[in-house]
Amino acid sequence: MKALGSGELLNAWEQGLNKPLLTRILILLAAAYPEIQADALAKLSIGQRDLRLLQLRTHLFGQRLLNTAVCPQCGERIEWESNTRDFIRETEENSTIADEFNLNADNYALRFRLPNSLDITTVINTSPDNHNAEKMQQHLLSRCLLNAEQSGKSCDFDQLPDSVIRKLSQQVEQLDSCADIRILLNCSECSHSWTVLFDIAGFLWTEVNEWAQQILQTVYKLASGYGWSEQEILRLSPVRRQLYLGMLG
Ligand SMILES: [Zn+2]
């Protein structure tokens, strides 16, 4: 990963405006990981992609994660804090970096790969029934199935019994466990505990968006006050920008 300057991050943010979240995230990653081809970034498994997003988040805004959640039992809004380093370590320990996997279930032998950003985009855009979560999950799995045989005879995804599809789904989830970051929360009001899914993609984009709004304001104020160009202002360190901003009163 390369160190992203303010100008480069602002460019990536601008490119991502009016694009779906999945595209925005790939634009951010492409800016931060120029050594990886765009096509290869889109083909990273979701867990591997999110690992890079966590590393990018740590580089851009630090490792402390602050967020809020609403208790499903009493409706109290609670604040939770976590650390990107913990998720990164967990992901690195649990991830299996391989392109293909095998599963033998009942009389079926399957060869499959893990879902990636391209699969998810395609499923969202082409599923005729795109509010039926189960159908979309099946569509996703069918894209990831590379080969299937029943007692040595090749067969299609549609011919697999539900029990085998369920096992395939569990296996995918287990192998790419980092695709779902779960956080255990406790309500201070009613002591209820529950888990929430932490979506680093949406979280990071929201932060980048807030950062961009703020930096544009800063550029405007410094340019108005001192007559400097946008490029000159973006090249300043954040500390100096803040100090000059303060001197404007
Ligand atoms: Zn509660």
Tell me how far the alpha carbon of residue 192 lies from the centroid of ligand 1, in angstroms.
5
Tell me how far the alpha carbon of residue 199 lies from the centroid of ligand 1, in angstroms.
22
The mean pLDDT of 77-102, rounded to a whole number, is 86
Tell me how far the alpha carbon of residue 66 lies from the centroid of ligand 1, in angstroms.
19
Give the list of residues 6+ apart from residue 53 with CB closer than 8 angstroms, or none: 25, 28, 29, 200, 201, 204
The pTM of this model reads: 0.89
Token duo for residue 208: 């980048």
Can you spell out the DSSP letters for 187-211?
-TTT--EEEEEE-HHHHHHHHHHHH
The length of the chain in residues reads: 249
Tell me how far the alpha carbon of residue 78 lies from the centroid of ligand 1, in angstroms.
9
Task: Report pLDDT digits (tens) over 123-163.
Answer: 988 877 767 888 888 999 999 999 999 998 999 999 999 99
Give CA–CA dist 94/92, Å, rounded.
6
Give CA–CA dist 105/150, Å, rounded.
10
Q: At what angle do helices 46-61 and 117-126 cross, to 10 degrees?
A: 110
71 in helix, strand or coil?
Answer: coil
Task: Report pLDDT digits (tens) over 178-193.
Answer: 777 888 999 999 999 9
Whole-number pLDDT of residue 78: 93
Evaluate whether 103 touches 167 at the Cβ level (below 8 Å): yes
Tell me how far the alpha carbon of residue 65 lies from the centroid of ligand 1, in angstroms.
21
Tell me how far the alpha carbon of residue 186 lies from the centroid of ligand 1, in angstroms.
8
